[in-house]
Amino acid sequence: MPTVFILNGPNLNLLGVREPATYGYDTLADVEQRCLVRAQALDLAIDFRQTNHEGQMVDWIQEARESADGIVLNAGALTHTSVAVHDALKAADLPVIEVHLSNIFRRESFRHLSYVSLAADGGIFGLGPQGYELALEAMAALIEAAAGEGPR
């Protein structure tokens, strides 16, 4: 069964209490539960994690290179600041789907730049927690396509 790392960046541990008008009332545990249900239906295993630390995120992306078949990433604010996360994603050589609960392109201009997008196969923005489920569907298709084509 293919494994997908679902990695979450800074402040996502505060979902449900931080700016609910922007991010909604679901907690990160709620999002994880939705992902578990969707992954099971797609015959995927998931490893769901959250960190507030850039170096930890880079370590997890590097770990995914050896332990996962794809990465779903909501890097939070690291999206807009971290060349290190970008470089780790490029080095991982795995399918990557970027997810954001809000539409980063309808927010402050500093959020419009995504270093993650430069390394991702696709992105889902502004659909709230459902975006994670859609990302898993897209990831399942990418993994299936890669299995038929050989290495990326």
CB 97 within 8 A of CB 117: no
Per-residue pLDDT at 28: 96
Per-residue pLDDT at 19: 74
Q: Amino acid identity, residue 10?
A: P
CB 15 within 8 A of CB 52: no
Closest by Cα among 121, 126, 118, 127 to 139: 121
Which CATH architecture is the domain 3-149 placed in? 3-Layer(aba) Sandwich (3.40)
What pLDDT, in 10s, does the model give residues 20-78?
A: 777 778 999 999 999 999 999 999 999 999 999 999 999 999 999 999 999 999 999 99
Q: Amino acid identity, residue 26?
A: D
Q: Quote the CA–CA distance of 115 and 83 in Å, as a whole number.
A: 6
120-138: b (≥16 Cβ within 10 Å) or e: bbebbbebebebbbbbbeb
Per-residue pLDDT at 103: 82
Q: Which residues are identified as catalytic?
A: 23, 100
**3-state SS, one letter per residue, for 100-112:** ECCCHHHCCHHHC
